[in-house]
Amino acid sequence: MSKRAPALLIDDMLECIEKINSYLEGLTFEQFIDDNKTTDAVVRNFEIIGEAANRLPDEFRHRFSDIDWQRIRGFRNRIVHDYMGIDFQIVWTIIERYLPDLKKQLLSAKEARSG
């Protein structure tokens, strides 16, 4: 497992979410897929989110089982191992539908750990 504390891994994940949101601010899907730097940056941050989730101790993941850790790690594996086959429509859907909830869940987990 990681030598980084769970709180730091959660901070890493939250930082990546903020980066993704800032990279995409004001962009349409078409603008996103036409900008290789932005698509690369977004994918890289999803990789980090998945890697951080993978490094969390099982006890932590069980304690915060409302977060779909398996799906987060699975998405990371998919984009890392099938990097030439990334479906950016799926990436965009994840950003719009699931990333805001993940951010809220991670903030709650962080608060519960420090509170």
pTM of the model: 0.92
Query: Nearest 5°: CA angle at 71, between 81 and 34?
Result: 55
In this predicted model, what pLDDT tens digit does every residue of 12-26 receive, in sequence order?
Answer: 999 999 999 999 999
Task: Point out the residues that are catalytic.
Answer: 76, 81
Over pLDDT 90: what percentage of the chain? 84
> If 0-12 CB within 10 Å is exposed, 13-18 middle and 19+ buried, where does residue 26 land?
exposed
